[in-house]
Structure 1
């Protein structure tokens, strides 16, 4: 993507974010999904690779969940990267981060969005996103754990409102679930 296209894309997302914060965006003031939480050892992904990681994880989620390539639909994907201090990531009680690069990815997705095939795709794409975003100098063995949590229908809430799968399908534009939003209109 060219620098101009990136700036236009950032500008479009900023406008959507501003409209969302002001309650004017078509998400009816609701919170967004999926929520993706990534935990990595501190410093594993420096700023230049961190941005690539967050972008690739967002793209992986959109692909697995069949979210269209539109800024307002992609804005529904929230990704949070948490860096854990040395000694806070242990295997069998020992800090192994000098040999292994452990990365935990926890994905909360509305129940009914993923089938078995899309789950396998999600696991593969998230692992690839982490692997492809590693700094060139990284020598440790990458070890990923990707956990997909289905949030039961009616258990997702945003900004004080309970959301159902039909609402979420409308907001995110899930290609395979548009029949749900068509029924509700």
Structure 2
């Protein structure tokens, strides 16, 4: 149940390529976080695409986007969902998604920065209520965390 923000230069991924990228990022999230193949569970994977205007992406103060295709992806997940192996797999899957979705004519070197951030338990609000790991596990169906559920119910805002 991640929130994913993917940033890259404007027009780097034309419409059909952006659609492929979003699909692959959803698949990466489902694999790394062990979300079952259930549309209701996968609906909780939010992805925002942020295309950066020309001249607004620099490396060392220099716009290198003519030579390099820089892509930054920030993934926020509830703390406790990923172990070290799942985190490493997630980063690899996101890099592979960007490489696969890029147009075949793209000649710039792909340069990715993927940051996976754990949101501390009790720090994530959804629909006006604080959610904790058992609520996330119930909602997203994390296969490896089902034993943590107990009597977890999804919180509702008052």
Aligned length: 152
Q: What corresponds to 2:79 in structure 1?
A: 111
Q: What corresponds to 2:126 in structure 1?
A: 158
Q: What corresponds to 1:124 in structure 2?
A: 92
Counterparts of 1:184 and 1:59 in 2: how far apart (Å)? 29
1:184 Cα offset (Å): 2.0
Matches within 5 A, 1:60-71: 60-71=28-39
* Structure 1 consecutive aligned stretches of length 4 or more whose deviation exceeds 3 Å: none
1:180 Cα offset (Å): 1.1
Matches within 5 A, 1:1-185: 33-181=1-149, 183-184=150-151
| TM-score normalised by structure 1 residue count | 0.81
1:72 Cα offset (Å): 0.4
Higher helix share: 1
1:159 Cα offset (Å): 1.6
Question: Mind listing any 5+ residue stretches in structure 1 that lack a counterpart?
Answer: 1-32
Counterparts of 1:158 and 1:77 in 2: how far apart (Å)? 13
Counterparts of 1:76 and 1:177 in 2: how far apart (Å)? 16
| TM-score normalised by structure 2 residue count | 0.95
Q: Deviations over 1:82-133 (max 9, x none)?
A: 1000111100000000000000000000000000000010010000000000
Counterparts of 1:184 and 1:101 in 2: how far apart (Å)? 47
CA RMSD, aligned part only?
0.7
